[in-house]
Chain A
Amino acid sequence: MTATTIGPSVLERRFPPVAVLATVALGLVVIGGILMASYAPRRPPLTLPIIVLTAAVALLVVDVVLLFRLRDFAWDRFWLVFRWALLAYAISAGMIEFAFVRDHTRGAPLVVVTAMLIVFAVSVPLIIAFTVARYASQPSSASLASER
């Protein structure tokens, strides 16, 4: 761990809304997935799914920027959790992708579904790893002061 175990409580420290933004991104791709799945086995209209997918990707990009600007953060704990969770959710996403391919989803709808599954497979590990690491990050007094 990069953080120490003494000092102010981790509950005192305020973090950017990384988990909230990732949860909203997850919610958006869930909505997009519902829109697409409700048309199966027909070819779905893609306008609305592409809009929600774009919004989800934008949120995720903002999220990653906010995350990497953090100081005094338990990065080793974050990466430990993130890589194992990513493996688990990549398997889940791969299975869903397989089901869509098996059901003859092709072309643009498959691209949109794949992009949504990538957002899903990244956002869930991001939420889990951030939640674990934020409570493992003991702030220095200086970082507490600068973030207030």
Chain B
Amino acid sequence: MGVLLAASTSIATSTTAGQAALPAFAAVVETHKAMVYSIAWQFLHDRVAADELAQDVFLQLHKNWARMQSPAHLLFWLRKVATHRAIDAARKRKAKAETSLEETDEPTVLERVHDSFLASYLKRMVSSLPEKQRSVIVLRYQEEMELDEIAKVLGMNVRTVKTQISRALELLRGKVSRRLGKESTQ
């Protein structure tokens, strides 16, 4: 990431987001694209929309490139912006179609026989969680972030994050145990 710091310094001294830093920027996009895209996807469940949102996040990063102080700051910034933008986009789409936990469809026959059934089912369950709980679950289990990091990204206190996670896990366990039997939730 020394390249990033060198590039960001050179950008800071130029008036526009310099093209000289594009290789370093491209490396950052390549490194973090899956993270940003997956956060967007967990909220939108639409590949095109998630792709668009992820692109916009990187475009915003390009504009703010000179402000990135370190690789850790950059990662924090990306997670924060991706999560908040995904939440906003999901809110806008909310009116169109919101699936509650109870309304979520039964798994199809094909899903039942598929090995990754539980994974796909869990994904759908996560997508039906309330916004706050979904955010903390995605950041905790997709991004494997610590509680204090999640708290910083979402602007919550650690205790709230903890509570949201345990409530979300409780909901998910309950739902999965009703569908699949208790053995899968132990």
Does B associate with A?
Answer: no
Which residues from chain B sit less than 8 Å from chain A, CB to CB? none
Which residues from chain A sit less than 8 Å from chain B, CB to CB? none
